[in-house]
Chain A
């Protein structure tokens, strides 16, 4: 049994990026039917309401100052500079607009948005052992804060503006009509009913791929990425989708700033030696140092929290005033921290894979390479190339909400404009039938492999720092070979209900993303920014280039493209 629905603009994913796209599409053209399809329940779903709730703003800096600093110290000129400047120029207004939609941005007694400065970076150790800071480093950004029920408030705002919502329907594939987008096929996650939604334009805002390793990142399972790949969308910067947090294996909570107070088991500080002159946040080199020390038998590594110089700045960001202004976030964090610390007994830290793999290629209008298909939020953070050679959140915390809001605000009007000028597309039965057969295969299978069993095997390939961060051709090749072996097991997946049928669809997406990640990593034969290769320790003499990933007759194919620096305002 299928249910058919039509919309002008269809948004997939009802978290921050999807809501921002939906509201701005509707505002751009109120006559359009703007519908959000969310796999769980919009307002509660997604990652945007389960984090620290800090949001990047420019403060007093100009977009040009931000961009120049960013290119030099973080993006390494691997950026689309037009996208970077557009992102920077919308950072301050993001916060104003989030406040208009939710009323939940923290303000001071005069009603001005309350911001705090990011701490200066420690550069070395004084003779008495204390840390020396580079006080002259003025980071060209500040951080605002928001209470974590803001997404629920924005959901209410969107409904009042006339945006329609279909909750508990997960998209599994995109439909095309003569090369352009025609809609989506999804399934009700509770009763398995097929839902066919035709639309003139579609915005993918359903998050990235995090391989379910870090608990809070668990909803990001890459179904939007695999669906876009299947209809031939282009990807870029896939090799940057491997963020790691410092975590404790006893509670998996992030330990920010651990690299400043990181000791091997011999009592040597091994973090500081990797800290560079300008150090805005966690760098890949300190994670690589953890790997080298571990391989040399100097582990486990310890985080001496009392020596962590970032703590005062983190605490000031979350002082009593901010806590009072954020009652929901305070309840959330108090509960999490109580649980986490009541089960913690030691100071060992390890790099825990977060991932944040979101390489769906988009231009400055948030258009993908498929006509009528747009994207916003985590799914296209690397794909927008605004950030360059860095993993998300890319050494500028508070950037996830900022990018989600910015890209949603761009994608919404772009998708509305496209829809207003487009004919009603045709949903082709043969596509719908093929999608149905693919999605339901595990329900009809005589295999015996449960999706979670395969997830565990994929995680064993993705988590190791030697595979996904401090890379080497040999290790990359064996990781890729293992992923190919696991792909061969897909037909054995077995499901008994819609929950596990989705589990199987997610596993297929995880394997595809892994393959894209390792193939792109093999193609980048250099070390640059977040991307490290043990066997290619220097930046490439060929200059900045992007690794493009495309679907060639169903296969993941990679190629290189030079960054067109001559078209951009800033040169290395």
Chain B
């Protein structure tokens, strides 16, 4: 599973990472004004949350060998 870490000190609550995710991995905590990494097992390492964060407060570490892919059913 990919690891997505948020540095809550650097984060300014701009919500962009939440908007940037195209498959709903990231939810939003309205009270704390911080992202919630709700479904990291579905992350497809597109990196849009990380590269759109102006505060460099979020990092994605892909783990390709656990990516959901039917490796045994190629041919």
Contacts and interface: CB of A to CB of B under 8 A. Distances in A.
Given A212-B68, A452-B42, A465-B75, A331 B51 contact: yes
A455 B68 contact: yes
A343 B62 contact: yes
Contacts of A332: 47-48, 51
Main SS at interface, chain A: mixed
29 contacts: A40-B24, A41-B20, A43-B19, A44-B20, A44-B22, A45-B22, A46-B22, A50-B48, A213-B69, A215-B44, A215-B46, A249-B71, A250-B64, A252-B64, A295-B75, A332-B47, A332-B48, A335-B47, A335-B50, A336-B45, A350-B74, A352-B69, A455-B68, A456-B70, A459-B73, A461-B73, A463-B73, A465-B75, A499-B24
Given A213-B70, A250-B64, A339 B22 contact: no
A498 to B, nearest CB: 9
Contact of B75 (A352, A464, A499): A464
B47 A218 contact: no
Contacts of A49: 48
A318 interface: no
A458 to B, nearest CB: 9
Interface string A416-458: 0000000000000000000000000000000000001001100
B44 A218 contact: yes
Give the size range of A's interface with the partner.
35 or more
A500 B28 CA distance: 17
Nearest to A499: B24
A417 B42 CA distance: 41
Task: Give 3 closest A-B pairs by Cβ, nearest first.
Answer: A215-B44, A41-B19, A459-B70
B4 interface: no
Contacts of B10: none
Given A41-B19, A332-B51, A335-B51, A499 B38 contact: yes
B62 to A, nearest CB: 5
B24 A215 contact: no
Contact of B46 (A40, A50, A167): A50
Contact of A463 (B22, B50, B64, B74): B74
Contacts of B64: 250-252, 340, 343
A460 interface: yes
B22 A291 contact: no
A65 interface: no
Contacts of B41: 452
Mostly, the B contact residues are loop
B3 interface: no
A499 B39 contact: yes
B73 to A, nearest CB: 4
Counting chain B CB atoms within 10 Å of each CB, which of A189, A216, A218, A328 scores highest? A218
Given A47-B22, A250-B64, 8 more contacts: A216-B44, A218-B22, A332-B48, A335-B51, A339-B45, A452-B68, A460-B73, A464-B73
B68 A456 contact: yes
Contacts of A218: 22-23, 44
A510 to B, nearest CB: 13
A219 interface: yes
Interface in B1-57: 18-24, 27-28, 38-39, 41-42, 44-48, 50-52
A463 B45 CA distance: 20
Contacts of B20: 41, 44
Contacts of A466: 75
Nearest to A167: B19
Given A216-B44, A343-B62, A249 B69 contact: yes
A294 interface: yes
Interface in A196-229: 212-213, 215-216, 218-219
A465 B74 contact: yes
A40 B74 contact: no
B1 to A, nearest CB: 12
Contacts of B62: 339, 343
A44 B52 contact: yes
B46 A216 contact: yes
